[in-house]
Structure 1
Amino acid sequence: MAVKKLCESYSKSFRGEVQRWGCMKQTGVSLRYMMEFGSRPTEKNLLISAQFLHKELPIRIARRAIELESLPYGLSEKPAVLEVRDWYLDSFRDLRSFPEIKDKNDELEFTQMIKMIKVRHNNVVPTMALGVQQLKKGMNPKIVYEDLDEIHQFLDRFYMSRIGIRMLIGQHVELHNPNPAPDCVGYIHTKMSPVEVARSASEDARSICLREYGSAPDISMYGDPNFTFPYVPTHLHLMVFELVKNSLRAVQERYMDSDKVAPHVRIVVADGIEDVTIKVSDEGGGIRRSGLPKIFTYLYSTAKNPLDEQSDLGSAGGLTMAGYGYGLPISRLYARYFGGDLQIISMEGYGTDAYLHLSRLGDSQEPLP
């Protein structure tokens, strides 16, 4: 099946509409706003939320669809990228053909539709990764991957936008949950314990290490488990899982054939006035200084290429990220989405420290690409 360019396979009026919506201004929201607004999921509030999404989502989706059309190095022509573009166009069409939302029934119907859109986009990350791999296979190996700056910047914008779209849809859908977990407002846990989330994420990472290597270094946690602040636990879990998994792998591979006991991976949770910072430290030998710029690029990974093994990344939100080289750059986007950041500091020959900063004020607006 040949996938045609946008101009061939979609009507002129539809193309014009995508362009028109892609030029409109996006509206960002803050974690605090989502929390305060969602803490009273009355019929009226759900209606306001649906009306906001009915206008906001097509703008964000149109922008990405337009960008997917004009990527450098022929990336737009790759079959996997065309598939992603079609998901975005289908979702845009679904949203635009949905009539004005006037009452509770409209709102419930709209909620079902955006739920379907979220499912349709479940595999965007592995499919885009496949497109980039398809590009890489056909490229001159002399090209330095960091030089493909345009592609990195596009993917940063694209994935950041995706985090925002999924957060907005997920938050709205979750507000309909008749039995929300205590202290939860949609996806946001108003009293999240970073120590507890970090513990659970590091146990998950450790069990994957055990499965792959037959053994795993121990993990030591430092921090007050009773300290809480409002955040999205699934985001934090994903980031800590990624950092701990990288540390465990580095230590495991360094000490695998040694008779020395592998040193612990240490996790420290510190509670500051502006930030909650989580440090993950290992003695896995560190990263060469020349390799450090590469760790946040999308075309680099030290693990084997997962395209050689069919792995399903759609299931648990992408818990088997090794090999795509996507874990760190995407974790950094999750941190930045709510005003935080991720820094990696390494001592070659010794180990690596990752600092995950989470903004505890919850006031920063979404960074809208």
Structure 2
Amino acid sequence: MAVKKAAECSSKALAEEVQRWGAMKQNGVSLRYMMEFGARPTEKNLLLSAQFLHKELPVRIARRAIELESLPFGLSQKPAVLKVRDWYLESFRDIRSFPDVKDSNDELAFTQMIKMIKVRHNNVVPAMALGVQQLKRDINCKVVSELEEIHRFLDRFYMSRIGIRMLIGQHVALHDPDPEPGCIGQINTRLSPMQVARTASEDARSLCFREYGSAPDVNIYGDPNFTFPYVPSHLHLMVFELVKNSLRAVQERFMDSDKDVPPVRIIVADGIEDVTIKISDEGGGIARSGLPKIFTYLYSTAKNPLDETYEGISDGVTMAGYGYGLPISRLYARYFGGDLQIISMEGYGTDAYLHLSRLGDSQEPLP
């Protein structure tokens, strides 16, 4: 009985602490600040970075944990969502029970701990997607288009997750004893968008081959020598997602046709404010009535590959179907002040414009 009472007290205390931290102000950083700060990963700077994260991460994690408790339509009670909430509470508890970071030994121990937190949260996106799919099965699908509130929550939730992972990943990466030339933590100061477009396209094509037995060509145009500062993993994820969608559309449109399969075209343009990457296909386009749906998390034109076992799902293992590739890609673009737009010609094809902010000055958008 005493054990049960103690457990109740500690969970009440935890809930109160989560509420207290969730009410605190978040502090955003910019890509430029991360670059300038990380350019000198001295012991002192790493200590300052750890002290900042020790205060900042619990605020961000607490906010999400609170939101996970009170989602509409019973989404909070779905097993997959309860699991995500438990991960967030566990991570909050880990950071809050870690003493103040005072010297480099503390800093190294803290770094190991947040590294573990990042791994714990690896499957958050597929788990949340599974929760939403479970919800979709339970309620009338016609209502789903009106579930604006859930959509807004997922936007905030995933944007916050991008920020948390970026801060942890950046701090951890600054410990790399042998960074790649031009890299400051996760940021490559001389990133070639042409090179990323090539790699992402090859990855998307090999996925398409696996799924359909063939894949359209991808032609890439732009200055091969042009570079700018950006996070390679973010850019790869966005381009991969867009090219994958285009390949699927073209492949399915020309599967039983004797016409030549048109290539997907990527154009990289280097502007003063933005780097823009345009991905064009002749996959038949999207009906105008369907366009507003493509950025919601409750929509996918593909069959649903999610089943009850989402353990071990990593991002982008199937050609399509979670219904969150596009909205999450747009959040990645917006995280550093860019955007993603889709323009369609029904009966012909689709153009995706990925705008990436050149200046790196915009603050993180903190939900």
TM-score by length of 2: 0.96
Distance 1:319 1:275, change over 3 A: farther
Say which of 350, 353, 356 aligns to 1:352.
Answer: 350
Distance 1:12 1:311, change over 3 A: closer
Q: What stretches of structure 1 move > 3 A for 4+ residues in a row?
A: 7-10, 308-315, 317-321
Q: Given residue 297 of structure 2, which amino acid in structure 1 is its aligned partner? A: Y
Alignment partner, residue 304 of structure 1: 303
1:309 Cα shift?
A: 8.7
Alignment partner, residue 131 of structure 1: 131
Alignment partner, residue 251 of structure 1: 250
Secondary structure of 1:301's partner?
coil
Cα separation, 2, equivalents of 1:365 and 1:323: 32
Whether contact under 8 Å (1:126, 1:313) holds in the other structure is no
Q: Given residue 169 of structure 2, which amino acid in structure 1 is its aligned partner? A: G
Cα separation, 2, equivalents of 1:258 and 1:173: 50
Match runs of 1:272-283 below 5 Å:
272-283=271-282
Alignment partner, residue 153 of structure 2: 154
Match runs of 1:40-79 below 5 Å:
40-79=40-79
1:312 Cα shift?
A: 5.9
Secondary structure of 1:57's partner?
helix
Cα separation, 1, equivalents of 2:312 and 2:300: 16
Secondary structure of 2:91's partner?
helix
1:11 Cα shift?
A: 2.4
Distance 1:312 1:258, change over 3 A: farther
Structure 1 residue runs of 5 or longer lacking an equivalent are 1-6
1:314 Cα shift?
A: 4.2
Match runs of 1:83-162 below 5 Å:
83-143=83-143, 145-162=144-161
Secondary structure of 1:132's partner?
helix
- Kindly indicate whether residue 218 of structure 2 is the aligned counterpart of residue 228 of structure 1: no
Distance 1:240 1:313, change over 3 A: farther
1:307 Cα shift?
A: 1.8
Q: Given residue 103 of structure 2, which amino acid in structure 1 is its aligned partner? A: D
Deviates more, 1:256-265 or 1:305-314: 305-314
Cα separation, 2, equivalents of 1:321 and 1:120: 25
Cα separation, 1, equivalents of 2:318 and 2:198: 18
Alignment partner, residue 3 of structure 2: none
Alignment partner, residue 211 of structure 2: 212
Cα separation, 2, equivalents of 1:180 and 1:121: 25
Cα separation, 1, equivalents of 2:258 and 2:210: 21
Q: Given residue 176 of structure 2, which amino acid in structure 1 is its aligned partner? A: N
1:225 Cα shift?
A: 1.1
Cα separation, 1, equivalents of 2:146 and 2:22: 28
Cα separation, 2, equivalents of 1:278 and 1:330: 17
Whether contact under 8 Å (1:193, 1:227) holds in the other structure is yes
Distance 1:253 1:95, change over 3 A: same
What CA deviation, in whole Å up to 9, does each residue of 1:143-187 have, x standing for no partner?
A: 1x2210000000000000000000000000010011111110010
Alignment partner, residue 3 of structure 1: none
Whether contact under 8 Å (1:242, 1:327) holds in the other structure is yes
What CA deviation, in whole Å up to 9, does each residue of 1:240-271 have, x standing for no partner?
A: 00000000000000000000011010000000
Cα separation, 1, equivalents of 2:119 and 2:20: 26
1:308 Cα shift?
A: 4.2
Cα separation, 2, equivalents of 1:321 and 1:157: 25
Q: Given residue 242 of structure 1, which amino acid in structure 2 is its aligned partner? A: E
Q: Given residue 82 of structure 2, which amino acid in structure 1 is its aligned partner? A: L
Q: Given residue 342 of structure 2, which amino acid in structure 1 is its aligned partner? A: I
Whether contact under 8 Å (2:41, 2:174) holds in the other structure is yes
Pairs aligned (count): 361
Cα separation, 1, equivalents of 2:30 and 2:313: 27
Whether contact under 8 Å (1:338, 1:358) holds in the other structure is yes
1:141 Cα shift?
A: 2.9
Whether contact under 8 Å (1:190, 1:231) holds in the other structure is yes
- Kindly indicate whether residue 366 of structure 2 is the aligned counterpart of residue 363 of structure 1: no
What CA deviation, in whole Å up to 9, does each residue of 1:43-99 have, x standing for no partner?
A: 000000000000000000000000000000000011110000000000000000000
Say which of 339, 342, 358 aligns to 2:340.
Answer: 342
Alignment partner, residue 332 of structure 1: 330
Alignment partner, residue 4 of structure 1: none
Distance 1:281 1:8, change over 3 A: farther
Whether contact under 8 Å (2:200, 2:236) holds in the other structure is yes
Cα separation, 1, equivalents of 2:217 and 2:36: 40
Cα separation, 2, equivalents of 1:113 and 1:230: 28
Cα separation, 1, equivalents of 2:24 and 2:319: 34
RMSD over aligned Cα, in angstroms?
1.4
Cα separation, 1, equivalents of 2:120 and 2:148: 29
Cα separation, 2, equivalents of 1:158 and 1:209: 30
Secondary structure of 1:281's partner?
strand
Distance 1:72 1:10, change over 3 A: farther
Distance 1:309 1:216, change over 3 A: farther
